[in-house]
Amino acid sequence: MSTWKTVFTLEWRILRRDRAAVGILGIFAVFLILSALAGGRHADALSDGLAASQAAEQAHLERLGDELSTLISQGADPRARDPRDPMWMGQEGAPRMAILPPAPLAPLAVGQRDLQPQAIRVSSKVHLEGEFNSETSMSGPARLTTGAFDPAFLFVILFPLIVIALSYELLSAERERGTLAMLLSQPISQGALVLGKAGARAVALCAVTLAFALVGLLVAGAPLGAPGAWLHVLLYGLVLVAWAIFWFSAAIFVNSRGGTSARNALTLVGMWLTLVIVVPGLVGVAVDLLYPPPSRLEQIHEAREDNRDLEQKRTALLGRHDVDPDMSKVAVELVEVEEELAAREAPAHAAEQEHLQRRSALIGALRFVTPALLVQLALEDLAGSGQTRHQRFDEQVDDYHQRLRAHHVALIRAGATMTPKAMDATPTFHFQEEPLAGLLGRVLTGVLGLLLAAAALLAMARAGLGRIGRLAS
């Protein structure tokens, strides 16, 4: 143990004077800050868009409330776009916004936010309207291929290359300089030598990574004072340390094979290409083949066809679109038409939800195929932009949609008009985060998977490190 500490101390001193190593760490720190700023800008644009939507909705509801009170007090005749009409209020006049709020570590990973709406306009209509509530800038080919330049991208894609640059020649450089045999003539084993050298470099990289990861969150404007934010930060750090340990373990294993520095670098880059690029791509292809995502174009087409059918029946009932002299009678018949349409779509909607759940379960199972997926999904979970959170949002929106429809349908069937009291009693949406145990379970399972993979690599490296003659030749 003392020999390991001695090597660690000496390597730490050498590393501090190594301009190449310091330069690599410095460049990595700069890129980490830049990626955090990019992620923070995306999160800020989302927050600003959602806040603007909420403010506009609140102002609109206040105007409708004032107009409703005025019409009731004056006893005015029915008219088009009448806020006293629960049918119009539920479908056109006062839809409510269901919002998925950004998580405290939102700058960490854009994740599914580029693909899934963060706000859904909920009305008493059969169909819902998704909204992204943020501007999406024009994307070049690199952006479309690799995704957003955020900390998750940096750690999953670029971080392993930093480890490779720092560790590909742990033993091979000593052998090529002719100093390995001299070192091993001292009371020190190859295992202690390589662990000491790798340990010093891993500590240096992890120190820089954790420090600048925290600084990145601060400069990105992450609300670290939010409830549970620091637990997310702790889990963030655990994922990064486990990811670093995995790649340093891979470097130790490759160095134990006795190859040259060039061969070690090529082997490690090949591992990176396979584990980070190729295998995740194949997993995505497999998931899409087994459980292809629903076609948005097909969904839009079906919604338009259903709306056309509904509009034809509405026209037959109303006769005119601008004025409805007997709102209550026609509204009841329209509700029955919509309920018929909703019942007709229910089996297809249930099948789609089951399909998405199976797809999500398959992705969760296949994440253990490669460590890169473990890290990617863990960082998206911590950023609140993962598939699990979005699926939970969709389920809660469906439930809220049913409650909102039930509120307006009850008024329509009772022949009642909308009143300020009934308007205040309209259900509101509040997203309920999943229990902490769910997030902890997924993230810590990913960390455990990384550490077990690292332990397996170190176990395989042990035999090679014991063959001194071949390595020292």
328-372 pLDDT, tens per residue?
666 777 777 777 776 776 677 677 777 777 888 888 888 889 999
State how far the Cα of 215 lies from the Cα of 211, in Å rounded to an integer: 6
Neighbours of 192 (CB within 10 A): 19
pLDDT at residue 323, as a whole number = 45
Domain positions in the chain are 1-473
Neighbours of 440 (CB within 10 A): 13
pLDDT at residue 139, as a whole number = 42
State how far the Cα of 233 lies from the Cα of 251, in Å rounded to an integer: 27
| pLDDT average, residue stretch 430-450 | 94
pLDDT at residue 103, as a whole number = 92
19-42 pLDDT, tens per residue?
888 999 999 999 999 999 999 999
Q: Which residues pair with 122 in a beta bridge?
A: 96
Nearest to residue 199, comparing CAs of 458, 5, 448? 5
> What does the block give as tokens for 46?
């989302």
52 membership: H or E segment, kind and range: helix 19-74
pLDDT at residue 211, as a whole number = 96
Nearest to residue 304, comparing CAs of 145, 127, 163, 57? 127
Structure-model confidence comparison of residues 330 and 286, the more confident one: 286
Global pTM value: 0.86
| pLDDT average, residue stretch 271-283 | 94
Q: Say what percent of the chain tops pLDDT 90.
A: 45
49-79 pLDDT, tens per residue?
899 989 999 999 999 999 999 988 888 888 8
Q: Which long-range contacts (CB under 8 A, 24 or more apart) does 421-424 make?
A: 422/86, 423/61, 423/64, 423/65, 423/68, 423/89, 423/94
380-413 pLDDT, tens per residue?
999 999 989 998 999 999 999 999 989 988 888 8
- Mean pLDDT computed over every residue of the chain: 83
Structure-model confidence comparison of residues 457 and 304, the more confident one: 457
Phi–psi pair at 187, nearest 5 degrees: -70, 70
298-335 pLDDT, tens per residue?
554 555 555 566 556 656 655 544 444 445 666 777 77
Q: Does residue 207 carry a pLDDT above 70? A: yes
pLDDT at residue 335, as a whole number = 75
| pLDDT average, residue stretch 99-115 | 88
pLDDT at residue 296, as a whole number = 53
Q: In sequence order, what are the residues at sequence separation of 6 or more whose Cβ sits closer than 8 angstroms to the Cβ of residue 258?
A: 464, 467, 470, 471
Specify whether the CB–CB gap between 440 and 110 falls below 8 A. Answer: no
Structure-model confidence comparison of residues 262 and 334, the more confident one: 262
116-154 pLDDT, tens per residue?
888 888 988 876 655 444 433 434 443 434 457 899 999
pLDDT at residue 357, as a whole number = 78
Q: Does residue 219 carry a pLDDT above 80? A: yes
